[in-house]
Structure 1
Amino acid sequence: EDTHDIAVSTFKQITLYTAKVCPYAQRVELALAEAKADFKSYQIDLQNKPEWYAPQVNPASKVPAIAYGGPNVSPDTPSPDSIKIAESLVLLEFIADLYPSAHLLPTDPVARAQTRFFIDAVSTKFAPAYVGFVVRGESYETVLKAFEAIQSLLPNEESPKFAVAGQYTIADAAIAPFAARLRLSVENEIGVFAPGEGAKLIKELKTPKYARFFNYVESLFQRDSFKATFDEEYVKSVFLKRFNALRAEK
């Protein structure tokens, strides 16, 4: 009974402020799902954010953000007594620390460093290449270079399932949302890139040169946590609306 009381008294509520369209927010949803965490979720309309969100949750007015601890209140009336934490990569490490039994961040110092190095490559190479191609219409050559950079960090297996240490880590959560949105964009020709460029990129990706990268991200897409946190039809509908408007402006 004493143990039960301690567990109950030390449990702190988690409220995640998220948006289905946002890859940064999905990173955190993936980590929480993999940790089998108990949490509340509140969808923020990024085009029409609630007036209370910036002053009471995240002054930067972005998602994801977490309200941690404090009283168990409705997400739309956040308590000043809860700790507010933002930025997806900060939150990934926070969740890994909260749920050590999920092994989202390896205990081995080398594997921890490799996890963070992989995430850095996602931040500095993969995510910018995705944005450059899909949002700004830059050459897909940058995307291919990003594939190569990520592939060079993967375990030397034909079909690697995880980025590091033979287990699901925050490195996998960091890349999966961007890889999924890139796939959705190129398969459906949704983006400001020139018509036909998406098909060319898919053709390149399916060559043996990128097989390990392709097999890796496909295995991430098959996980229950991914399927539960990626509403493909919703994201597709938002992308169509957004990118058709951007293409019209070009």
Structure 2
Amino acid sequence: MSANLTFYTNRYCPWASRAHIALQELGLEFKEEFVDLTKPRTEEYLKINPRGLVPALQYKDTILIESGIITQFLADLPGNSKSILPAPTTPEACLFRARLTLFVDTFISKVGSQLYQIMLNSKDEAEKETKIANALEAIKKDIVPMLEIKDAEKPNGPFFGGSEEFTLAEVNCASFLIRIYKLGQEKHGLIPASFVKGLEQIEVFNNWAQACIKRESVSSIFDEEANVARWNEKIAAQKL
């Protein structure tokens, strides 16, 4: 399928990384095109995605944009040798898909989007800590209960629904998790260490997150030092 898939991405972007993780988990061959987000988009790329954002995926003669749409398309693509999402062929599968969609939506709104708010849009440390406290509370209240629901047939796996293998839930969340845990190390000073320490105390969430960030499809595309340098540049630019 390499001739059919061209992936436009930037590995510093967690949204683009979601699609990259899906491609790797599904074992799909693709051509990768790097888009430099530090410079104005080229005329060529704006023809591909007029919004100028990443990711974008070209499948044959069609361009798909928005990471969640791309990962859903890849998960549902006929002929995949591996599954990260059950086909909607039974009521149980449809219910699983609905629960998974709600889970991802909740995670992104309550946790994933807070990454930028904490790092770039906090006026001081007190505001950062308030945002962190709110995110931790949301995890306990809204996310942990969904992680505790297990599929009766596969109850003991580390991933969503008790799955032994990555699902679309992990595909869509793991790129944010690895940034929170890695960039939240005290040595980097990018996110208050209290965030990671708080996450480590939420056992159900932390066990799931650790399983996610150790996955090869997640860790192999994340360069910690390069991401630290890029985030420091963004924070410095914000202060100008």
TM-score, normalising length: structure 1: 0.80
For residues 181-231 of structure 1, the C-alpha deviation after alignment (integer angstroms, 9 at most, x for no partner) is 12233212115xxxxxx1222332222xx0111111111111111122212
- SS of 1:229 mapped into structure 2: coil
Q: What is the count of residue pairs matched by the alignment?
A: 218
Q: Which amino acid aligns with 1:115?
A: L
Q: Which amino acid aligns with 2:22?
A: A
Match of 2:227 in 1: 235
- SS of 1:47 mapped into structure 2: coil
For residues 19-59 of structure 1, the C-alpha deviation after alignment (integer angstroms, 9 at most, x for no partner) is 011000000000000000010001100011222111x2101
The one of 1, 5, 13 aligned to 1:22: 13
Native 8 Å contact 2:180 2:196 kept in 1: no
CA RMSD in angstroms, aligned pairs only:
2.2
Match of 2:218 in 1: 226
Q: Which of the two has higher C-alpha Rg?
A: 1
Matched, 1:105 2:98: no
The one of 148, 154, 166 aligned to 1:155: 148
Match of 1:189 in 2: 189
Native 8 Å contact 2:149 2:161 kept in 1: no
- SS of 1:25 mapped into structure 2: helix
Match of 2:75 in 1: 96
- Unaligned 5+ runs, structure 1: 1-7, 70-81, 192-197
Matched, 1:31 2:22: yes
TM-score, normalising length: structure 2: 0.83
How far does residue 117 in structure 1 lie from its aligned partner after superposition?
A: 1.2
- Unaligned 5+ runs, structure 2: 88-92, 123-127, 151-155
C-alpha spacing 1:106/1:130, structure 2 compared with 1 (3 Å): same
The one of 173, 193, 203 aligned to 1:199: 193
How far does residue 165 in structure 1 lie from its aligned partner after superposition?
A: 5.2
Native 8 Å contact 1:18 1:25 kept in 2: yes
Distance 1:124 1:117 in 2: 11
Distance 2:20 2:229 in 1: 21
Q: Which amino acid aligns with 1:104?
A: I
